[in-house]
């Protein structure tokens, strides 16, 4: 172990607590004060445990730079539009993160989102199916495609890169075939599809959702820390729990407040954040999530532990394509149309870039669902800011590339930090 200092909790504040009785003296104790947390934070940073800090700093920088160049950037209207704009690619990113956690890649998500958009438009407009049924069918198509990719990858042993590269080409072909000669199918501007991105919750609803989330978080955290204390395990002191809750509350309350200044919390953004939160809970709190991390970390070890590795792989590809299909539906909803170019532009690259910028490793087993939200916000903010400044797509691509490179370099450097601080290199 590389613990340098011998510091016991008792010597810090004099009173050994019941729960501290079995704490190992070699563990560096974190004093329950802002100074103690700062020290712990510095220790983590030096050890390569950057957490979300670089992305948050990046977001603040982006905000400051663009706001100084155009004072409409941080206006509630622009920020509200931003949250709706990132929902589509954000959902796709969430799926990409699942695949990246396995240490694999899915190149087909752009094409799948485009195909899902085409299926949606053809069913809802050309065949006159109810819009909700068309949405369900489009999602179902995504799921089936993902399961197909997963089966070919897991059961036949074809590398995921090749399977999904074939998917990238093939599903785009099906997409173009379905769109036919028209090239564009306009959807109703008032139906269920349009509602997805046109609905905003009244201020009261936004506050209610924020309040429920924060209260649930507090209840869950207090319950866990209480159980840890009763079981004699190391637990976080009350001050630290409240401090973390405050760190969560600030962006939630701030976000709802800003969004309420315009039209309220957009449904599209809520769907995106909802998927991120659910996926995060699944990954961290359920046996399924643990299996996904295990397969991504060491698939042979996972297999020997009795995990059905093939099933995990197939299900993850199913989830990724389903989320890509949802992203395609969002694209149609926002444009009131599906066209031959839906999902065939930069969406795939943006989704993968957002996942990496958010902090998910390309090497498997390391990352979390919140990468989708953070990375999506960074890329969305850059896009939105450059549009406000009336810059060309060319500039956007170059700046996005630079941000992506910085993110990957940070990841590589912090991985080196983790190695030298013996916290694992993956």
By CB under 8 A, name the binding residues for other proteins. 1, 3, 22, 24-27, 224, 227-228, 231-233, 285-287, 290, 293-294, 296-298, 300-302, 304-307, 364-366, 421-426
Tokens of 320: 């990724």
Rounded to a whole number of angstroms, the minimum distance from the CB of residue 163 to other proteins is 24
Which C-beta is closer to other proteins: that of 396 or that of 421? 421
Query: CA 102 to CA 105: how far, in whole Å?
Result: 8
Maximum CA pair distance of the chain? Answer: 79
Residue 274: CB minimum distance to other proteins, A:
18
Length of the chain measured in residues: 426
CA distance 426 to 305: 20
Q: Which is nearer to other proteins, 223 or 398 (CB)?
A: 223
Residue among 42 and 285 whose Cβ is closer to other proteins:
285
Which residue carries 């190149």 as its tokens?
107
Return all residues near 126 (Cβ < 8 A) that are at least 6 apart.
185
Cβ distance to other proteins smaller for residue 27 or 202: 27
414 within 8 A of 48, measured Cβ to Cβ: yes
The residue with tokens 């953070």 is 374
Assigned token pair, 229: 């204390």
Contact, 89 vs 348, CB < 8 A?
no
Residue 412 C-beta: closest distance to other proteins, Å: 16
The DSSP bridge pattern shows strands 337-339 and 265-266 to be: unpaired
**CA-closest candidate to residue 388, choices 85, 66, 58, 64:** 66
The nearer residue to other proteins, 292 or 332, going by C-beta atoms, is 292
Please give the structure tokens belonging to residue 44.
């983590």
- The least distance separating other proteins from the CB of residue 36, rounded to whole angstroms, comes to 17
* Shortest separation between residue 41's beta carbon and other proteins, angstroms: 17
30: three-class secondary structure by DSSP: coil
Compare residues 249 and 308 and give the one whose CB is closer to other proteins: 308
Distance of alpha carbon 215 from alpha carbon 197, whole angstroms: 27
d(C-alpha 193, C-alpha 186), whole Å:
11
**For the chain, how big is the Rg over CA atoms in Å?**
23
Minimum CB–partner distance for residue 62 and other proteins (Å): 30
CB of 323 to other proteins, least distance (A): 22
Residue 347 Cβ vs other proteins, minimum distance, rounded to whole Å: 29
Distance separating alpha carbons of residues 376 and 350, to the nearest angstrom: 8
**Minimum CB distance to other proteins, residue 256 (Å):** 27
When the beta carbons of 219 and 305 are compared against other proteins, the nearer one is: 305
Residue placing its CB nearer to other proteins in the complex, 58 or 359: 359
Q: Output 82 or 369, the one with its CB closest to other proteins.
A: 369
Are 384 and 73 in contact by the 8 Å Cβ rule? The answer is yes
At residue 289, φ and ψ (nearest 5 deg) are -60, -40
If one counts every other C-beta atom within 10 angstroms of the C-beta of residue 207, the result is 16
């Amino acid at each position: 172990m590389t613990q340098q200092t011998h510091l016991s909790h008792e010597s810090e504040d004099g009173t050994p607590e019941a729960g501290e009785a079995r704490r190992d003296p070699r563990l560096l104790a974190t004093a329950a004060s802002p100074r103690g947390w700062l020290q712990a934070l510095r220790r983590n940073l030096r050890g390569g445990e950057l957490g979300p800090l670089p992305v948050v700093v990046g977001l603040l920088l982006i905000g400051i730079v663009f706001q100084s160049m155009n004072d409409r950037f941080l206006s509630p209207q622009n920020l509200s539009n931003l949250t709706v704009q990132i929902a589509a690619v954000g959902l796709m990113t969430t799926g990409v993160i699942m695949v990246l956690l396995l240490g694999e890649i899915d190149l087909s998500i752009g094409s799948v989102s485009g195909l899902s958009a085409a299926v949606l438009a053809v069913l809802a407009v050309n065949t006159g199916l109810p819009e909700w049924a068309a949405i369900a069918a489009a999602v179902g198509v995504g799921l089936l495609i993902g399961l197909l990719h997963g089966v070919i990858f897991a059961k036949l042993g074809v590398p995921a890169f090749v399977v999904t590269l074939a998917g990238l080409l093939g599903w785009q072909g099906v997409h173009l075939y379905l769109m036919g000669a028209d090239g564009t199918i306009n959807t109703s501007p008032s139906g269920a599809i349009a509602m997805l991105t046109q609905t905003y919750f009244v201020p009261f609803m936004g506050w209610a959702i924020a309040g429920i989330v924060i209260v649930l978080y507090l209840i869950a955290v207090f319950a866990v820390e209480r159980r840890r204390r009763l079981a004699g395990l190391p637990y976080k002191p009350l001050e630290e729990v409240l401090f973390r809750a405050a760190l969560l509350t600030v962006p939630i309350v701030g976000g709802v407040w800003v969004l309420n200044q315009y039209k309220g919390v957009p449904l599209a953004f809520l769907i995106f954040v909802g998927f991120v939160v659910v996926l995060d809970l699944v990954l961290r709190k359920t046996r399924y999530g643990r299996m996904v991390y295990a397969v991504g970390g060491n698939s042979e070890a996972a297999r020997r532990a009795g995990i059905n590795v093939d099933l995990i792989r197939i299900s993850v590809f199913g989830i990724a394509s389903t989320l890509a299909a949802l992203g395609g539906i969002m694209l149609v909803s926002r444009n009131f149309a599906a066209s031959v170019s839906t999902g065939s532009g930069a969406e795939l690259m943006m989704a993968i870039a957002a996942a990496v910028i958010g902090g998910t490793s390309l090497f498997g087993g390391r990352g979390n669902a919140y990468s989708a939200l953070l990375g999506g916000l960074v890329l969305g903010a850059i896009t939105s800011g450059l549009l406000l400044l009336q810059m060309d797509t060319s500039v956007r691509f170059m700046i996005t590339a630079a941000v992506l490179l910085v993110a990957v370099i940070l990841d590589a450097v912090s991985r080196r930090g983790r190695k030298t601080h013996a916290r694992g290199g993956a």
